[in-house]
């Protein structure tokens, strides 16, 4: 079983729509969580960290459910520029070092 699993999509949505992605992780010892955005032929860029209480950054809301071992990303009022692949990243601590696990990404296409 993969450490981090995501629905690959693509999610095709019209401008202005609300869209949500989920990501599940396999190890309950995972400690910190992130969403990265990756544009075509570009590097991953940090979109937002995910905090236990949930957090919001403009149109983006991230939630963490430790009991069910999933995190979510909600995008409200989708823009054409939101079209990208969204990578779920989980960080686990092994005592004296951390290790990051990446999902395969969820592709979002926002259409006019």
- The torsion angle over the Cα atoms of residues 29, 32, 35 and 36, rounded to 10 degrees, is -110
In the bound state with other proteins, the residue whose beta carbon lies nearer, of 14 and 53, is: 53
Specify the DSSP class assigned to residue 82: G
Quickly tell me which residue has 């032929």 as its tokens: 41
Interaction residues for other proteins, span 2-31 (CB under 8 A): 4, 8, 31
Does 72 participate in binding other proteins (rule CB under 8 A)?
no
**Residues in contact with other proteins by the rule CB under 8 A:** 4, 8, 31-32, 34, 41-46, 49, 51, 87, 89, 93, 96-100, 102-105
């Amino acid at each position: 079983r993969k450490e981090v699993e995501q629905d690959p999509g693509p999610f095709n949505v019209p401008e202005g729509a609300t869209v949500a992605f989920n990501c599940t992780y396999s190890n309950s010892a995972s400690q910190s969580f992130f969403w990265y955005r990756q544009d075509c032929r570009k590097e991953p860029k940090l979109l937002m960290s995910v905090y236990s209480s949930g957090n919001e950054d403009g149109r983006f809301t991230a939630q963490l459910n430790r009991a069910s071992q999933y995190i979510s990303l909600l995008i409200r009022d989708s823009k054409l520029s939101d079209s990208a692949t969204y990578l779920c990243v989980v960080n686990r601590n092994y005592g004296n070092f951390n290790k990051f696990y990446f999902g395969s990404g969820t592709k979002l296409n926002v259409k006019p």
